[in-house]
Amino acid sequence: MRLLRTVLTGTALLVSVSLTSLPALADTADDPIVPIQKAPPPTEPPPPMRPEERGLMIFQQVCSSCHSMERAHYGDMIGLQPSVTALQHWAQQRHAGLESPIASPYPSVAVGKANNGGDYPPDLSHIARTIRGGPDYIRQMLAGYRPIPPGVTLAPHTYYNPIALTHHHKFKMRPPLHEGMITFPDGTKATIPQMASDVTAFLQWADDSHRSTRHFIGTAVLLYLALLGGVLLALWQLLKKEA
Amino acid sequence: MTQKHDASIPHPFPDEDASLLPRPTRRTVLTAGSIALGGAGACTLAVPFLDSLRRTEASSAASTQEQAVMDISVQDLEPGAHKVVVWQGMPVAIQHRTADMIRALEDPALLAQLADPQSRMKQQPHEAENAHRSLRPEYGIYVTICTHLGCVPDYKDISSLPASGGFFCPCHGSQFDGAGRVLRNMPAPYNLPVPPLHFVDDHTIRLGESTLSPHFSMNSIQQL
Amino acid sequence: MNDTIPPSRGWLSSRLPFLKPLCRHMARFPMPPVNLFWTLGACLMVAFGLMFVSGLFLSLHYQPDLSRAFDSVEAIERRVPSGWLIRSIHTGGVSMLFAALYLHVGRGLWYGSYKALRELVWLSGLVMMLLFMTTAFAGYVLPWGQMSYWGATVITHAVEAIPGIGHGLLVYLLGEDTLGGIALHRFFILHFTLGFIIATVIGLHVLCLHGTGSSNPTLDGPRPDRTTRPFAPFYVVKDCLAVCVFLALFAILIFFLPDLLGKLDNVIPANSLKTPADITPEWYLAPWFAMLRAVPSRLGGLIAASASLLVLFALPWLDRSPRHNATYRPLVRLGMGLFFIAFITLILAGMNGATPLWVWLSRAAMLVWFLVFLVLLPVSAYRERKITGSSTQGETP
């Protein structure tokens, strides 16, 4: 009964949680834990982060200020950011909840276009799969901004990027990455190629979150089938001889 | 997979039967092995299918965090009136009692009819374990979900004792008094739960948070 | 009737008296010396079972609603626990199923499994193939991505080519003028229901097969082998072994090559104002798409595509030769070889753009398709019947 009720009220609960509960959380849930919490010893190095985890940080702080990721919910990022509180906080900043899609910050396509030199920032849900050139293109393009060469004139809100495929290198996306713009908790230096590669890893993850699990299960299934096939083959050979 | 040829089928080489005597061991082992492996594989295959019926990871992580709070204004509630609000998807009845109603809750004739008149079952925070089963006597606040099978009881006075108010569950006829206490010999085993709450001011109730028993939540009650 | 329980029988067999004879029949079912192509039926059974179960579980999470269909599929991929795995079984399974299905039908064509006494096996199998094609098409519409929408648009508009009633029929089937929410709901119900109908037809197919027995690939050869052996345990183990190999290929497809056969554009929600640049059907429906495209007239294309399937139904009566195995029928061997090449050509043509080369290749392939079945097979059968006289060489029933 209680389980059923909990399931039924899940949605209502989450919405109300996201609106009002952070102070309550600190009061009720965390209070008894605080006294026994110990600070980690200062000598211990911070845990290493996966590239897509760093990529999520870049997405949260940089990409999502123009791009949407409509197919994913804020809560889906739990695969990269295990702290629900942090995800709730991020969603609240954008006036959303864990179960809302990561929507475009622009109220309409027209506003988005007007803010970006006439090109609407595309949705990033499956960009790693659908963009021409795939992840390699994204990685190189993000790090591909160059100073304007002599003889090239650029319209306002246009940036020179010889890798970009649209508008003959006169790209409408303003250079998103700058040296040291993000401090990664694992100590990785935020260079432009590093961030370009991390954010690409994140976009690949967003397109296909289960890649590594899939390969793992696939290997296990094949090993199992090899074992079963071996036993069956032996049995078959035996039966062939017997008959 | 049968383990041996049926005896009624003529064996193509009957003479060889004798020389096959040591064979069945190997064959039995291989047959049993493939059946066991195949069965294990089929069971493993069922795992993702059953797994898909689970709730999503983000929602279960969020739901274990804490419970929601909700502020309700009772300024508009005249004495004798009541209203129902929805808190965490549950109907919560709020009644503003008159002095007569409060008095009626302590009527020995009523108490004699109740299954748990002293609220011994943990269906409320301890500050509501009193004669009027609420934080303040003039406000009765109950989660109106029948403790029998989860239907929603509606207001209906107990016919013999109309002054005390009451709730009536349409599904199996459980009756509760105006303080959500179940009558004797009803299908419902427990009183209606009292949610955790406190008064922010005289006219505002905050549901979901109790100042007197901070660890009380809807998960602590006996049954919902 | 006598209601006393015979003490010698078990609880179940006294209440289901046909159970034991049925099991015995299955176990002792006499199998001729068949080759590996006869394991495809078991593979198909497993593939169908996986499709059925994964489909049922997907339908728990899918929402056949215009505004929510695409998002519910994304939810299955992203947040339903193990949803991505179940969906990959379903989307990869359809390719595995059709691959095994076409090989199974091809085996029937090559070894003459459609011939006298097995007509019902052949016909029920063909009905099942049509049901599978319809189910696959309806299922492909459900995610409501770009490819779903435009594939459904193209195919449903082929219906419009039927003279006189075409447009009316289209509107009747779609429930409105354009492909929309009503049609999506219908496609979902159709897809869901067909799964159960196919399960029934599978039962009929197996029932028909058990009436006549499996065909024998050695009969027309120089050394016919008429010995049989019981289905269990030898053929059970052989089928299991084949299923193992089939599942390994299945696993490689869904776990390591998920994008091999998938269409990238289907991760973009349907947009009724923008047709994707490279619109092609899934490979298993590509031959008929190529036919629709190869015939200049819309009605002609529809007739050609339908006739190409209908001609298969007439096969038992087009080829009445007593010989079965194409290996030992030179003319038929040539014809079947050409037909298989034509079929692969049509698959490739359907999956490639409408360039003149592919259009002409598909026209040639269609010509081969009809020539083989309508001319070559009857002629060859006529000659063989004259040579062998009225003596029945083939199998004895």
Q: Which CATH code fits A105-237? A: 1.10.760.10
- Asked if the model's pLDDT at residue B130 lies above 80, the reply is yes
**One-letter identity of residue C390:** S
SS3 B108: helix
CB-CB contact of C31 with C228 (8 Å):
yes
Alpha carbon distances (Å) from B163 to B82, B159, B166: 15, 9, 9
Q: Are the Cβ atoms of A218 and C251 closer than 8 angstroms? A: yes
Report how many Cβ contacts below 8 Å link chain B to chain C. 48
- Nearest-angstrom CA–CA distance, B104 and B99: 9
- Asked if the model's pLDDT at residue A18 lies above 80, the reply is no
Nearest to B54 among C53, C81, C233 (CB): C81
- Asked if the model's pLDDT at residue A168 lies above 80, the reply is no
- Nearest-angstrom CA–CA distance, B5 and C231: 11
Instruction: Give the per-residue pLDDT at B220.
Output: 81
**One-letter identity of residue B65:** Q
Instruction: Give the per-residue pLDDT at B31.
Output: 92
Instruction: Give the per-residue pLDDT at A158.
Output: 86
B220 in contact with chain A, both atoms CB, cutoff 8 A: no
Average pLDDT over residues C269-273: 90
Tell me the β-bridge partners of B84.
B93
- Asked if the model's pLDDT at residue B11 lies above 80, the reply is no
Q: Which residues contact C237 (CB under 8 A, 6 or more apart)?
A: A232, A235, A236, A239, B1, B34
pLDDT band at C134 (very low <50, low <70, confident <90, very high): very high
- Assign 3-state DSSP to chain A and report helix, strand, coil percentages, each to 5: 55, 5, 40
Q: Are the Cβ atoms of A225 and C78 closer than 8 angstroms? A: no
Alpha carbon distances (Å) from C114 to C29, C111, C117, C123, C323: 20, 8, 8, 8, 11
- Nearest-angstrom CA–CA distance, B116 and C286: 73
Q: What is the pTM of this model?
A: 0.84
Tally of CB atoms within 10 A around B153: 27
Average pLDDT over residues A1-15: 38
A33 in contact with chain B, both atoms CB, cutoff 8 A: no
- Asked if the model's pLDDT at residue B16 lies above 70, the reply is no
Q: Are the Cβ atoms of C248 and A126 closer than 8 angstroms? A: no
- Nearest-angstrom CA–CA distance, C298 and C291: 10
pLDDT band at A56 (very low <50, low <70, confident <90, very high): very high
- Residues in A closer than 8 angstroms to B37, CB to CB, are 224, 227-228, 231
**One-letter identity of residue A178:** H
Active site residues of C: 210, 214, 238-239, 282
A72 in contact with chain C, both atoms CB, cutoff 8 A: yes
- Asked if the model's pLDDT at residue A32 lies above 70, the reply is no
Chain A nearest C-alpha distance from B87 (Å) = 9
Which domains, ranges and CATH numbers included, belong to chain C?
Answer: 33-275 (1.20.810.10), 280-397 (1.10.287)
Average pLDDT over residues A53-71: 94
What number of residues does chain A have?
A: 243
- Asked if the model's pLDDT at residue B81 lies above 70, the reply is yes
Chain A nearest C-alpha distance from C144 (Å) = 14
Contacts of B among chains (3+ CB pairs under 8 A) = A, C
Instruction: Give the per-residue pLDDT at A41.
Output: 57
- Nearest-angstrom CA–CA distance, B67 and B185: 34
Give, for A227, the enclosing helix (H) or strand (E).
helix A211-242
pLDDT band at B222 (very low <50, low <70, confident <90, very high): confident
- Asked if the model's pLDDT at residue A30 lies above 90, the reply is no
Q: Are the Cβ atoms of C234 and A240 closer than 8 angstroms? A: yes
Short-list A174, A157, A164, A173, CA closest to A131: A164
Least confident stretch, A38-47, B3-12, C381-390: B3-12
- Residues in B closer than 8 angstroms to A242, CB to CB, are 20, 23, 27
- Asked if the model's pLDDT at residue B34 lies above 60, the reply is yes
pLDDT band at C391 (very low <50, low <70, confident <90, very high): very low
Least confident stretch, A37-41, A46-50, A110-114: A37-41
Chain A nearest C-alpha distance from C59 (Å) = 19
Structure tokens given for C389: 């006289």
| Residue limits of CATH 1.10.760.10 in chain A | 105-237
In chain B, pLDDT over 90 holds for what percent of residues? 41
- Residues in B closer than 8 angstroms to C80, CB to CB, are 52, 56
